[in-house]
């Protein structure tokens, strides 16, 4: 029995010797892991707070994009004197620090003339200039058109930024390829840089165009000169008769003027067209005469073919009586009935 008890004691002692270090190490590992987990949580929390703070700061720093509005006005005016109105237009434009991009005058002095202006003015003076121009005469048309290009402007800005980043990376790659002295790679990267640079310049040109259109509004003005112009009123029957007669009379005068002008225009060409006209008239007259003679011959031949033929005996008796100077004698048996 003693040996068995001793064996059991030895086994229990060995088990205790083996289990105690293992349990102790496990506790130590657990205690050492706790600080690591805490450090991980603190680190992640700090990183998360830092990232969230960076996003908030970026949102704060990103100021909202102001609206980019292109303003365009179209004005048609009727004025009494174009010569007096033109200096006033220049004065109004100069007061608002604008400029005339295009001007055109149609018609001669003494007749109805029309002047057209394309004016560019800073957006701050757009309303004042438009109101000043409307005071020059009687407005027939007054239209204001606006176009919001904010979205396009933001897209162009983002495209320029991305293209510049791509260009910087390509330039760095180009430097590396030059150090490696690989000519083929250098050429390929250089071509790519050239293409990206072209895209950047086109995008920058579009951005500059949008900025210019937004900063400077456009006013298209048309001035129509009419002496003693009176604004139209509600038409009556009498006014409609007067207007219709006046329009018809004007059309008649224009038609007569056109004929006179055509005659005056043809006068210098008389040595050329007069002989041609005379020869053509002579040929037509000869052709008509020949046609009339041909028609007369055809009519005579037709009449000869259609003349009735008499019997032979009757024709001889009629000829004998006519030659003897006597009256025609009826044939035996009395006059014959008409066939």
The tens digit of pLDDT for each residue in 194-250 reads: 999 999 999 999 999 999 999 999 999 999 988 877 777 777 888 888 889 888 999
Averaging pLDDT over each range in 1-5, 104-108, 112-116, 325-329, which range is the top one?
Answer: 112-116
For residue 25, how many other CB atoms are within 10 A of its CB? 10
What region, left, alpha or beta, does residue 110 occupy, with left being phi > 0 and alpha being psi -120 to 50 degrees? Answer: left
Give residue 75's pLDDT band: very low, low, confident or very high (50, 70, 90). very high
For residue 52, pLDDT beyond 50: no
Which candidate, 57, 110, 59, 61, places its Cα nearest to that of 83? 110
Contact 219, 129 (CB under 8 A): yes
CA dist., res. 291 & res. 8, Å (int): 159
In degrees to the nearest 10, what's the CA dihedral of 198, 204, 207, 213?
-100
For residue 44, pLDDT beyond 60: no
Amino acid 314: pLDDT: 53
Alpha-carbon distances of 242 from 70, 227, 234, 246, 252, rounded to whole Å: 45, 19, 14, 6, 15
Give residue 175's pLDDT band: very low, low, confident or very high (50, 70, 90). confident
**β-pairing verdict for 69-79 and 216-225:** parallel
* Residue of higher predicted confidence among 307 and 272: 272
For residue 298, pLDDT beyond 90: no
* Residue of higher predicted confidence among 37 and 110: 110
Token code pair at residue 122: 């800073």
pLDDT > 70 fraction of the chain, expressed in percent and rounded:
70
For residue 58, pLDDT beyond 50: no
Token code pair at residue 284: 């037509």
Phi first, then psi, for residue 228 (nearest 5°) are 50, 50
């Amino acid at each position: 029995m003693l040996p068995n008890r001793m064996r059991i004691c030895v086994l229990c002692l060995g088990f205790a010797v083996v289990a105690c270090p293992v349990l102790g190490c496990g506790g130590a590992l657990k205690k050492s892991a706790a600080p690591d987990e805490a450090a991980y949580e603190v680190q992640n929390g700090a990183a998360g707070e830092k990232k969230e703070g960076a996003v908030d700061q970026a949102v704060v720093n990103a100021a909202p994009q102001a609206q980019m509005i292109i303003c365009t006005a179209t004005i048609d005016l009727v004025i009494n004197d174009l010569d007096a109105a033109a200096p006033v237009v220049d004065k109004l434009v100069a007061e608002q620090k604008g400029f005339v991009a295009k001007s055109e005058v149609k018609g001669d002095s003494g007749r109805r003339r029309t002047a057209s202006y394309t004016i560019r003015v800073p957006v701050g003076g757009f309303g004042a200039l438009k109101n000043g121009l409307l005071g020059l005469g009687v407005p027939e048309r007054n239209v204001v058109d606006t176009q919001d290009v904010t979205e396009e402007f933001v897209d162009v800005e983002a495209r320029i930024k991305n293209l510049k980043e791509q260009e910087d990376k390509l330039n760095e790659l180009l430097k590396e390829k030059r150090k490696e002295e690989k000519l083929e790679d250098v050429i390929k990267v250089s071509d790519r840089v050239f293409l990206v640079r072209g895209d950047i310049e086109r995008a920058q040109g579009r951005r500059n165009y949008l900025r210019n259109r937004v900063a400077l509004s456009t006013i298209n003005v048309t001035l129509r000169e009419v002496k003693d112009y009176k604004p139209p009123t509600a038409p009556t029957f009498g006014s409609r008769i007067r207007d219709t007669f006046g329009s018809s009379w004007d059309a008649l005068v224009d038609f007569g003027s056109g004929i006179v002008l055509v005659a005056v225009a043809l006068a210098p060409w008389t040595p050329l067209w007069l002989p041609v006209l005379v020869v053509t008239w002579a040929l037509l007259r000869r052709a008509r005469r020949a046609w009339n003679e041909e028609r007369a011959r055809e009519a005579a031949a037709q009449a000869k073919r259609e003349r009735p033929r008499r019997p032979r005996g009757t024709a001889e008796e009629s000829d004998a009586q006519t030659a003897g100077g006597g009256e025609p004698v009826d044939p035996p048996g009395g006059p014959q009935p008409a066939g």
